[in-house]
Amino acid sequence: MDSINVCFVLRIDSDGIINDSDEESQYQDHLKHILSFLYSHPDCYLTVAISGRKAEWLEKKHPEAIELISELSSRKQIEITGGGFYDPILPLLLPVDKVGQIEMLTTAIRKLFGKKPRGAWLTSSAWDSSLITSLYTCGMDYALLDVSLLSQEYQSQAFSSKPIIVEEYGKTIKILPLCKNIVPSASDSCEEYISVFSKLAGNKTATTISTLFMPDQLSFIIKNGWLERFVESAKGNITLCTTSQYFKNCNIYTRAFIPSGSSKNGRPAKEIIARNPEAFRLYSRMIQISNEVNQCRGDKARKKAAREELWKAQERSAYWNENLSSIEQQKIRQQAYNHLLIAEKLIKEAGSKQETLLTSFDLDMDGNMEYICRTPVYNSFLTSEGGAVFELDVKSYNRNYSIICERDKGFYPKKVFTDFLIDKNSFSEQYQNGKQLVNTVFPEIAYKEVSFSRIRQELVLEAEGTYGKKHQIIKLRKKYIFTDNSIQVQYIIRNKSSEYLKCLFAVESNLALIDYDIKNRCIEVISSETNIASCADQIFIHQHDVSCCQITDLKTSTVFTFEPNENAGICIQPVLNEKTPYATCFTFFWKLEIPAGYETEKTLFLNIKQSSKKALASKKRN
């Protein structure tokens, strides 16, 4: 058997890193030691897959690392691969964004390190055959892909002298499979580790095996001296090489087909996203903004800036990252929304016309219409499910203030203007004792469109459901009226049953404020012309006579004011994530007593403005 070729591949990225201090720690603890070892051991070859964000950070904070990588590259000891600049999941993107992200990283690598990459790192090994055309267009010769995505037959070929090549409409890309499960442990001797490669090679005349390392894994075996011993022990048995050195010696390839999949249980990226409602909402918005950027005409500078903001929002961590906590995931998604809203603002500026615009289309690709109102102050996105607002963006801070949570068992999704009928005991159990609401009637019912007027900026929805043990039929008509800085929601509740209706009617709105520090939230309630302050981390209930509730995000001076048309009760409670209050739930409620065949009307106003905090007690209702 010929010598076994081994490609060590190092992935350097900023995946899941939120703070600059974490970037610095990764550099000092791991990357610095790796580069120092490579410089002093010219017989150790390595392929480096670096993300655009990490390359930018190194250029800004540690230019000496850029110089060292450039020198290692010039002496052909390391090879640098390309990919998407902002670590996107490429199969999720439109073709223009795939090509743009790949070319952006290619340009950055060429400028920083002096060589154009010939291979591409695929984030999360997310694969789709449509990538072949995009990679080929960008001048990529090969792609790095998790070996688990290959069938057993092709895995055997992948470790032979006939590596895998894939084709799409006449364009071809070579595939270098990565093995993540043969990273050495501290207890492995060099001889034992070499025997692992020998077993994988079997009786093949020539074999190439590529192993993926993360910075902490590679720095660990460098610090304890294992890698240095391995390089010495491997001589004569194993040849360390870069990916290009390996492909340069290949003359025959095995034509293969690789089905769509990813490193996450082999499932396609779109299937993973579709199973996560919160991630899919973000994905839908990203696709919408991507289409708008591509259709933008006239102002090339703003279009370019908008496209870059869009690409920042395509980073993998915002869509899935099983290594992040829920709080960290929420912060990264908010960053993605921030980039999308900046891109949207740049597109609107290119059009130069700012006006309230009400429209409808199937945003989340579920076969049902969503309703979108864009004003100079806010964006409001409504869904027919519950007839509620699932995204509320404040444009001055480019912030999505709505909560879009994956629904738990028995719970409805948390949105804005979610309305329900409920008996008094169940209401108390939910808001005081945290138990699940049952028979809430309207939150998960699909509302039907009654009327839709772009001129008057009005939308009327209607739903019908049954309430209580007597199965009373109740019709709810919900009329939205949009202005530049406010949303008015009028409710008409009709008792279509033959029985007297007695219950509570409640409207719940959830707002995720700018950070997780409750000191930056100011909540004030007016009851009988008395100003009452509410603690953001405690449940607050006032049974009646509430005429106004004002919520101030002190960090951004964004003020939300809720006003019912007639005095109501209110319940305010923190929304917890891992015991951290990251949002606040505001629920207005009224006692209903409606005879058979009669109806009643309630209205709730939401005003959004940017200003310094003012005393609410002096505020007079119009």
Write the pLDDT tens digit of every residue in 123-175.
999 999 999 999 999 999 999 999 889 887 777 666 666 788 999 999 999 99
Cα 207 to Cα 198: distance, rounded to the nearest angstrom:
9
Task: List, for residues 405-445, the tens digit of each pLDDT value.
Answer: 554 444 567 899 999 898 888 887 776 665 656 667 888 88
What percent helix, strand, coil does the chain show, rounded to 5?
35, 35, 35
Give the dihedral of Cα atoms 303, 306, 307, 312; nearest 10 deg.
Answer: 170
Which residue, among 578, 15, 580, 21, has the nearest Cα to 325 in the 3D structure? 578
Give the model's pLDDT for residue 110: 97
- Residues 218/10, Cβ–Cβ less than 8 Å: yes
- Residues in Cβ contact with 70 at an 8 Å cutoff, skipping those fewer than 6 apart: 112, 113, 114
Give the model's pLDDT for residue 151: 82
Give the dihedral of Cα atoms 272, 277, 279, 280; nearest 10 deg.
Answer: 80
Report residue 236 as tokens.
Answer: 């004569």
What would the 3-class secondary structure string for 282-293 be? HHHHHHHHHHHH
Query: What are the CB-based long-range contacts (under 8 Å, 24+) for 431-440?
Result: 431/539, 431/541, 431/571, 431/573, 431/587, 432/539, 432/541, 436/409, 436/410, 436/411, 437/410, 437/411, 437/412, 438/410, 439/467, 439/468, 440/412
- Biggest alpha carbon distance in the chain? 93
Give the model's pLDDT for residue 621: 38
Report residue 279 as tokens.
Answer: 């991630």
Backbone angles phi, psi at 306, to 5 degrees: -65, -40
Give the model's pLDDT for residue 434: 59
Report residue 141 as tokens.
Answer: 């010769």
Which residues of 41-162 form beta strands (DSSP E)?
Answer: 46-50, 78-83, 119-121, 142-146
Give the model's pLDDT for residue 132: 97
Which residue, among 606, 622, 612, 616, has the nearest Cα to 530 in the 3D structure? 616
Which residue, among 528, 604, 616, 524, has the nearest Cα to 566 in the 3D structure? 604
Place of tokens 């509730």: 549
Backbone angles phi, psi at 424, to 5 degrees: -60, -40
Q: Beta 580-594 vs 568-577: how paired, if at all?
A: antiparallel
Give the model's pLDDT for residue 616: 43
Report residue 19 as tokens.
Answer: 């703070």
Place of tokens 């001296």: 225
- Residues 505/491, Cβ–Cβ less than 8 Å: yes
CB count, 10 Å around CB of 256? 17
Query: What are the CB-based long-range contacts (under 8 Å, 24+) for 197-200?
Result: 197/4, 197/6, 197/238, 198/4, 198/237, 200/159
What are the residue ranges in the chain where pLDDT is below 70?
Answer: 1-3, 156-161, 186, 200-207, 352-356, 404-412, 431-439, 514-520, 536, 578, 611-622
Angstrom CA distances, 457 to 63, 224, 226, 507, 562, stand at: 54, 68, 69, 22, 20
- Residues in Cβ contact with 210 at an 8 Å cutoff, skipping those fewer than 6 apart: 6, 7, 8, 9, 47, 144, 176, 177, 178, 179, 243
Cα 569 to Cα 542: distance, rounded to the nearest angstrom:
6
Give the model's pLDDT for residue 435: 62
| pTM (two decimals) | 0.91
- Name 264's bridge partners: none
